[in-house]
């Protein structure tokens, strides 16, 4: 029972983290940085990849 609750929390937190990372990635300042230097802000990668990892771990806990 506790693993399912933890899994659901991880899934919700992972989705929120991924959305936050995408918002940083899509921000106007990030678009200018990508256009000039071709680099993506590390916060965007951490949010999107960290969110994906949380969701995957959450799904394994729910099953």
Would you list the domain boundaries of the chain? 2-62
Average pLDDT over residues 5-25: 95
How far is residue 8's CA from residue 58's CA, in Å, rounded to a whole number? Answer: 6
Confidence band (pLDDT; 50, 70, 90) for 9? very high
End-to-end CA distance of the chain: give it in Å, rounded: 11
Residue indicated by tokens 């959305």? 19
pLDDT of 21 over the 80 cut: yes
CA nearest neighbour of 21 among 40, 43, 38: 43
Does the structure show a pLDDT above 90 at 19? Answer: yes
Model confidence pLDDT, tens digit, residues 24-55: 998 988 888 888 988 888 999 999 999 999 99
> Residue 40: its pLDDT value, please?
82
């Amino acid at each position: 029972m506790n693993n399912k609750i933890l899994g659901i929390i991880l899934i919700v937190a992972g989705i929120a983290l991924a959305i936050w990372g995408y918002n940083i990635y899509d921000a106007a300042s990030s678009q200018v940085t990508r256009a000039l230097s071709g680099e993506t802000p590390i916060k965007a990668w951490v949010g999107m990849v960290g969110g994906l990892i949380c969701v995957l771990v959450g799904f394994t806990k729910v099953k």
